[in-house]
Amino acid sequence: MEKSLRRKLTLSHVFVAVVCALLISIVANIFLEKQFKNYVINVRERKSEDIVYSISHQYSMDDKWNYYRVESIGIDALENGLIINVHDMNGKVIWDANIYNNGKCEDIIAHMSQNMMKRYSDWKGKYIENKYDIEYDSKKVGSVTIGYYGPFYYNDNDMIFLNTLNKIFGIVGIVSMFMALILGILMAGRMSKPISRVIETSENISNGNYNERISEKSDIIEINRLISTINNLAQRLQEHEAMQKRLTADVSHELRTPLTTLQSHIEAILDGIWEPTQERMKSCHEEILRINRLVKDLEKLSIYENENLTLNKSNFDISDVIKNIVLNFESEYINKNIIMKIECDENQMIFGDKDKISQVCVNLISNALKYTVTGGKVEISVKGELDYIELSIKDNGIGIAKEDLPYIFERFYRADKSRNRLTGGAGIGLTITKTIVEAHKGKIFVNSKLGEGTQFSVFLPKNI
Ligand code: ADP
C-alpha cells in the first residue's frame, strides 16, 4: 500500500521508539528481577543470622534467659515476615511466635503467598523452616527455628519498589513514543516540504516551464543534491530550447541570402530580363554550393553540439598529429606564399579523442591560412608542461576587431560578414573547436589585433 513520506517517517519513528522502550523494559526487568531476588534472599539470610546472634546474647549462665528481650526480637522478626520459636536444651519453649499470636503468623504467610502469586502467575511457594543452634561459651544451650515463606518472598515495600519500576518504564515508553511522534512529524515535514517542491517544479518543467527553479535549501545532503540536479536539468532544458530557437533563426538567416540571390537570378532569366549566360549560371551555381556547404556545416554542428559529445579516447602524440595536418595544408600555404613555422616538443602524449583533437587543429590552422594574406606568416607550436599541453597557432593576418572578439566562438558569428561570405565560412568552425576543447576539459583563448594578426592558444590536460 502506498503511503506518504510524512506518514511513513512518523510511523517508523513511533515504531522504533515503542520497540526500544519495550526492549529496554523487558531486558531491564529480567536482569533487575534476578538481582533483586538474590538481594531479597541475602537480606533474609542476614536477618536470620542477626536473629540467631541476638538471641544467643539473651542467655546468661545457669539457664537464665532474658525472656523480655527474646520476645521483643521475636516480635520484630514477625514484623519482617519471619516466624521464630526458641527452645532451651531441654526442649522447653522460651518464646514461640505461634503461641504469641498464631493468627498473625498465618496472616503473614497468607499475605506473602498473595504477594508472590500477584507477581508470578505460576508461583509455587511453601512455608520453610530452618533450625539454628544457640551457643554460650562454645556450648549448645538451645535452638531457634526460623520459618518463612519460601523459596523467597517480597514484602509490601519490595512489591512497591518493583511496581514503581514498571510504572517508570511505562511512563518512559509513553513519553518516548510521544517524542518520537513529534520528532517524526517535524522530520517528515522538513523532508517532505522540499521534496513536494521538487515534485511540483519537475511537473512544471515537464509541462515546458523551463524557467522554474527551486530556491528551497535543506540540511539534508541528498535533498540538496536532488534540488540542484533538478535546477541544472531545468537550466539545461532552457539552454537547449534557446539554442534550438537560435539555430532555427540562424539557419533561416543564413539560407535567406543565397536563396534570395538564386531566386532573383532565376526569375530574371525566366522573365527574359537576363540572358542565361555562363557567367550568370556560374553565379547561381556558386550560391547552390554555398547552401550545400551550409547544410554540411549544420550536419557537423549537430554532431558536435547537440549530441552529448562522446570521446573515443586513446593515447597519441599531438606533435605528430600537427605535423601531419600541416603536411596536408602544404599546397595551400605554398600557393599563398605563406611562411609556415612549426616548433613542436617531441613526444607530447595526450589521452583524448584523436579525431576530434585533429579537427581542432585543422580548424585553427585553416583559419590562420584563410585569414592571412599572401606573403604572411603562420607559427605553430606545441609545448609540454607537467600535466597539460599548450598548443599555439599564431598568424600575422587580418586580425579580429576588439568588438568582435567576445563573439567569435558563437555559432554563425563572422567578424566581417561580407568578406567571410566570399571566403566561404559559415562561422561555426570555432564553435565546434571550443566544444571539443571543453569536452577534453581544456581551455581555448584568443589574442588578436585588427590588421596585425591573431593567436589562438589551446590548453589541453594530458589526462582527462
Ligand atoms: P568561419 O567558417 O567563418 O571561419 P569560424 O567559426 O572558424 O568560422 O570563425 C569565426 C570568425 O572568426 C571568422 O568568420 C573570422 O571572422 C574570425 N576568425 C577566426 N579565425 C581567425 C583568424 N585566424 N584571423 C582572423 N579572423 C579569424
pLDDT of residue 306: 60
The alpha-helical segments, DSSP class H, found in 302-385 are 318-328, 330-335, 354-370
Nearest to 369 by CA among 335, 402, 324, 404: 335
Q: Whole-angstrom Cα distance, residue 433 to residue 409?
A: 8
Atom of ligand 1 nearest to the CA of 363: 7
Q: Three-state SS for 136?
A: strand
Residue 383 bridge partners (DSSP) = 390
Residue whose CA lies nearest to ligand 1 atom number 7: 429
Find the 359 Cα to ligand 1 centroid distance in Å: 15
Find the 408 Cα to ligand 1 centroid distance in Å: 7
Find the 347 Cα to ligand 1 centroid distance in Å: 30
Asked whether the CA dihedral 237, 240, 242, 248 is positive or negative, the reply is negative
pTM of the model: 0.52
Find the 423 Cα to ligand 1 centroid distance in Å: 10
Strand ranges across the sheet with 93-96: 93-96, 83-88, 139-150, 126-136
Q: Residue type for 222, please?
A: E
DSSP 191: H
The alpha-helical segments, DSSP class H, found in 207-215 are none
Find the 410 Cα to ligand 1 centroid distance in Å: 11
Helices 278-301 + 221-270 axis angle, to 10: 170
pLDDT of residue 120: 85
pLDDT of residue 461: 95
Nearest to 111 by CA among 157, 50, 47: 157
Q: Would you say the CB of residue 425 lies under 6 angstroms from ligand 1? A: yes
317 Cβ partners below 8 Å, 6+ apart? 347, 348, 349, 350
Q: Would you say the CB of residue 453 lies under 6 angstroms from ligand 1? A: no
DSSP 2: -
Helices 156-206 + 97-119 axis angle, to 10: 10
Number of residues in the chain = 464
Residue 87 bridge partners (DSSP) = 93, 143
pLDDT of residue 286: 86
Q: Whole-angstrom Cα distance, residue 60 to residue 109?
A: 33
pLDDT of residue 93: 92
Nearest to 69 by CA among 60, 417, 61: 60
Q: Would you say the CB of residue 115 lies under 6 angstroms from ligand 1? A: no
Find the 433 Cα to ligand 1 centroid distance in Å: 11
Mean per-residue pLDDT pooled into runs of 10, the chain (464 residues) = 78 87 86 89 93 92 87 92 92 92 89 87 88 90 92 88 88 87 86 87 91 86 91 88 78 82 91 89 88 83 72 93 93 93 93 92 94 94 94 96 89 65 69 91 96 96 83
* Ligand 1 mutation pick, 371, 393, 411, 446, max ligand atoms within 8 A of CB: 371
Residue whose CA lies nearest to ligand 1 atom number 17: 415
Please work out, in degrees rounded to the nearest 5, the angle formed at the alpha carbon of residue 275 by the alpha carbons of 272 and 276: 110
Atom of ligand 1 nearest to the CA of 456: 23
